Amino acid sequence: MSLIKSISGIRGTIGGKPGDNLTPIDTVKFAAAYGTWLKNTSEDKKLTVVVGRDARISGKMVQDLTMNTLTGLGINVIDIDLSTTPTVEVAVPLEKADGGIILTASHNPKQWNALKLLNNKGEFLNGADGAKILELVEADNFNFADVDSLGAITRKEGYIDKHIEEVLKLKLVDAEKIKKANFKVVVDAVNSTGGIAIPALLKKFGVEVIELYCEPNGHFPHNPEPLKEHLTDISNLVKKEKADLGIVVDPDVDRLAIVDENGEMFGEEYTLVACADYVLSKTPGNTVSNLSSSRALSDVTKKHGGSYKASAVGEVNVVQLMKKENAVIGGEGNGGIIYPDAHYGRDSLVGVGLFLTHLAEKNISVSALRKEYPAYFMSKNKIQLTPEIDVDNILKKMEEKYSKEQISTVDGVKIDFPENWVHLRKSNTEPIIRIYTEAKSQEKADQLAENMIKEIKAVIA
Q: Taking a C-beta distance cutoff of 8 angstroms, is the pair 414, 356 a contact? A: no
Q: What is the Cα–Cα distance from 374 to 257, expressed in whole angstroms?
A: 18
421 — pLDDT class (breaks 50, 70, 90): very high
For residue 314, the SS3 value is: coil
For residue 145, the SS3 value is: coil
**Strand-pair category, 256-259 with 406-408:** unpaired
Strand partners, 186: 210, 246
Residue 364 neighbours by CB under 8 Å, 6+ apart = none
Residue 275 has pLDDT above 80, yes or no: yes
DSSP structural state of residue 205: T
Class of domain 377-460: alpha beta
45 — pLDDT class (breaks 50, 70, 90): confident
The Cα angle at residue 274 between residues 86 and 271, in degrees rounded to 5: 50
Q: What is the Cα–Cα distance from 384 to 398, expressed in whole angstroms?
A: 17
Question: Could you report the per-residue pLDDT of 276-332, keeping only the tens digit for each?
Answer: 999 999 999 999 999 999 999 999 999 999 999 999 999 999 999 999 999 999 999
Instruction: Show me where the domains of the chain are located.
Output: 3-160, 178-370, 377-460
Residue 92 neighbours by CB under 8 Å, 6+ apart = 50, 99, 100, 118, 120, 121, 122
The Cα angle at residue 70 between residues 125 and 216, in degrees rounded to 5: 75
Q: Which of 74, 253, 100 shows the shortest CA–CA distance to 163?
A: 253
Chain-centre distance of CA 229, in angstroms?
19
Output phi, psi for 287, to 5 deg: -135, 160
What's the pLDDT at 261? 98
What's the pLDDT at 3? 85
Q: Region 82-101: what's the mean pLDDT?
A: 98
Whole-number Cα distances in Å, 214 to 184, 199, 274, 312, 314:
16, 8, 25, 34, 28
Q: Region 368-397: what's the mean pLDDT?
A: 92
Q: Which of 367, 366, 328 shows the shortest CA–CA distance to 344?
A: 328
Domain 178-370: CATH superfamily, name plus number: Alpha-D-Glucose-1,6-Bisphosphate, subunit A, domain 3 (3.40.120.10)
Side chain identity, residue 50: V
Residue 461 has pLDDT above 80, yes or no: no
Output phi, psi for 423, to 5 deg: -125, 120
What's the pLDDT at 99? 97
Residue 441 has pLDDT above 70, yes or no: yes
Question: Could you report the per-residue pLDDT of 107-162, keeping only the tens digit for each?
Answer: 999 999 999 999 999 999 998 999 999 999 999 999 999 999 999 999 999 999 99
What's the pLDDT at 8? 76
The 10 Å CB-count burial string (b at 16+, else e) for 56-86 is bebbeebbebbbbbbbbbbbbbbbbbbbbbb
What's the pLDDT at 431? 81
Question: Could you report the per-residue pLDDT of 205-259, keeping only the tens digit for each?
Answer: 999 999 999 999 999 999 999 888 999 999 999 999 999 999 999 999 999 999 9
Of residues 367 and 226, more confidence is placed in: 367
For residue 89, the SS3 value is: helix
Residues noted as catalytic: 106
What's the pLDDT at 364? 98
Residue 6 has pLDDT above 90, yes or no: no
Question: Could you report the per-residue pLDDT of 15-24, keeping only the tens digit for each?
Answer: 999 999 999 9
What's the pLDDT at 247? 98
Looking at domain 3-160, which of 3.40.47.10, 3.10.20.740, 3.40.120.10, 3.40.50.1980 is its CATH number? Answer: 3.40.120.10
